Homo-oligomer: A and B are copies of this chain.
């Protein structure tokens, strides 16, 4: 927490309350779009932030490696704390449920991609789509 400022400064960036509030909101929501994050920030008691500031804060926090995002659906980058990036995200096409499995579950895939293409894959950014246990049965 306290070294957030240090990490920012190390990149010539600054610690502002806005960035702290956005980071806190991302932490509280776990998986959220910029829009939802803006709402959550507004709900923390302080005055709401302009969307532009939310976007810029998300960018900054991401460059810092504190948060990351995946593409849960067409029009929705979903942000989460970097610590959540220790999972592969799994998204249900039926109900939108977002689950996760440990990164290691993809070790073999990563190895094969590396082997075939010389590609360094970062699976933590991937969202795997499919149907959850419940939606598999439903019509």
Residues of A at the B interface (CB closer than 8 Å) are 71, 74, 77, 88, 90, 92-93, 99, 101, 105-106, 108-109, 112-113, 116-123, 125-133, 136
Contacts and interface: CB of A to CB of B under 8 A. Distances in A.
A61 to B, nearest CB: 16
The number of times this chain is found in the oligomer is: 2
Contacts of A77: 74
A138 to B, nearest CB: 12
Given A109-B128, A121-B129, A122-B130, 5 more contacts: A88-B109, A106-B106, A108-B109, A109-B109, A120-B130
B116 A132 contact: no
Contacts of A127: 71, 126
